[in-house]
Chain A
Amino acid sequence: MARELLKGNEAIAEAAIRAGLQAYFGYPITPQTELLEWMSKRMPELGRAFVQAESELAAINMVYGAACTGARVMTSSSSPGISLMMEGISYIIGTEVPAVLVDVMRGGPGLGNIAPAQSDYNQIVHGGGHGDYHLIVLAPASVQEAVDLTVLAFDLAEKYRTVAVVLLDGSLGQMMEPAELPPMRPVKTTFPEWAATGMMGKREKRNILTSIYLNPPDEEQTNLRLLRRWQEVEASEIRFKEYFMDDARYVVVGFGSAGRVALSAVRAARAEGIPVGLLRPVTLSPFPYEHIRKLAQRVEGFLVVEMNAGQMLEDVRLAVAGQKPVEFYGRLGGVMPFPDEILSEIQRIASGGLTLEGHPRERWLQRMNGKN
């Protein structure tokens, strides 16, 4: 199929539709409202379910209900709206039904602004609701990747009976890039044996879908089941992209938009002869811990770049486990870094700016304070 110039939010919506999305329940919030608006037009055209709920809390619970039928269902929101959805996400996980969530991060905390940020990494990767579980988190860095990962999200959510999140920021949601959409996949007509589909004389036993396990040992068994499925996800579903890594002595690590900006900086650094490469995790959860641990054995140091105060930084540090120095550069509150800022950091690191002492966030803050 040919490439079209697509806006991130709309590309994700259409990709979900092509993946056989059967129901979308959402609520408007900048910078992802175009996704909801696209759905509001297309879903009724195709005879599929669309509801603009009265709030994000209502939307996620509608998703929960629809997910229990085994249909392909999703919602989308941005930072403050995602906060409202946390309880519902936990219920969906606890009931072990699949759903897809799109999170277009913006500046915060609180109302914040509508500018792009990555400050919800911890909320989604290490949280995502109350309870002992992990979400699958996919982080695209281009409109094409957003299309591909949205389709993948549905497949993974169903395969592991979990919630898969497509995590991006406002700039990716708003930008337009050429992308190829997949062909239209028909909606499902057969549903899993656990799903609530209306008995209609076809089943003897009712399916009960709930996250209530009043007996603590039963709840413990449920949690162990979730954990074992998570181990399967960790074993099979880690994804990342690498650039200029073959002979790299320094590694920049960044996801999503920060990863893209870092790519420009790494190219510029290479043009200056600095042996630096870029690792861009595509799955933030499961995280490529083992890959980074192995990288740490052969490189001299890492520079983590994020649009937050150092959240993925901690996962990188965990993976590196003190073997080599890790530095950090971040911008906050919806500010997007320019490549030259990251290039400066790479140059600083390559000319002796690496240390194992102290915490990279402290050093970064000192440098930031020095500038202000």
Chain B
Amino acid sequence: MADLRANCAGIESPNPFWLASGPPTNTYGQVARAFDAGWGGAVWKTIGEPIINVYSRYGSVDLGGNRVMGFNNIELITDRPLEDNFREIAEVKRDYPRNALVVSLMVESKREAWHEIVKRTEDAGADGLELNFGCPHGMSERGMGSAVGQVPEYTARILGWVKEVATRPVLAKLTPNVTDVTYIARAARQGGADGLSLINTINSIMGVDLTTFAPLPAVGGKSSHGGYCGPAVKPIALHMVSAVAGDRDVGLPVSGIGGIATWRDAAEFIALGASSVQVCTAVMHYGFRIVEDLADGLSNWMDEVGLRTLDDLRGKALPNVTTWEQLDLNYHLVAEIDYDKCIECELCYVACEDGAHQAIRRHDDADRAGGRHAVEIIEEACVGCNLCSLVCPVDGCIAMKQIPNGAPPVSWKDFTAGRGRLAPRPEHFHVARFG
């Protein structure tokens, strides 16, 4: 059995699965049930001066019959009095000493305000602090949340204040609503952060009601942009996690967040450098029980591939993240169809013909009666782009096969510097075919 114990910036938990700060971590009752279900840690719903929420707060993107592929909210930080939050935080720590309890904080940008909330939170027993520099709606209009996280100087300054009094690890939770998150991450490092949590939610409008012309989610016919999350944002989050985890000037442990719903998602975040992972939307969709397969699936998979601890897995994919200019231009692929699996839907044909490189030939009924396959790859025209294999509805039917061309690797960087030679490749863009 793989050892799933995690340590993120000195915050230890029995497994890497933490609830992200949000509705699931609002109360003692929820966090206690989550820990009973097997969650390793939780980041308490952001506390600060209690706010007042609007009614109608969430929106969803449904795709092909699947609900909540993307999710958004226009909810603010906690609406519960600070005293209630502190009391329940202390109770959770008393009843679940082995689970990680991190508390998310957001107050106005005043040194005393930060000092006070940090001290009170540590007095309540929090194992760590997470500074919410990411909330993109509402709070940012009041100069907090992403209004801080979008400006490197503010980020560093507030971290400095917090570190003047904090004795427990401090994570800075970053907003993805910036041009390059590594700048903010470096500022967090300079400010003294012990680790980073990312991503928070992405600016979004979920849709428009075409009867009332109200943007969604609507509050009496109006809306404001909200924070986008859920499965749809995972690729964005993976990129940002890898960008900060792989940046030498950042050099901080990372808690990965954004669209995690299965153990595979979690494994990918960890492979790109995360030390723990946080989940919000998937729990809002299916409940705390999903942690069972998160842990069971990750552990079974690690056993299968021979990884004993999370340290063995963490960052395993990072060295493979590089810049475009380093990629090998002489690595050539061609699509290959497994005709035992082909169901002749011809989706690959139309995708390649109209959307890519006209490298799939289609045979008419007469040819097929004569024994030809419905579709056939024109190898000389194929640029190995993947499109056909991506749209093919049958797993493993279209494989991308490497064609050895004997040429040594050459990157764009080398090539433009006059080093190396390009192997011959299809000249599809010079060819016009009619009929």
Say whether A and B bind each other: no
B-binding residues in A (CB < 8 A): none
A-binding residues in B (CB < 8 A): none
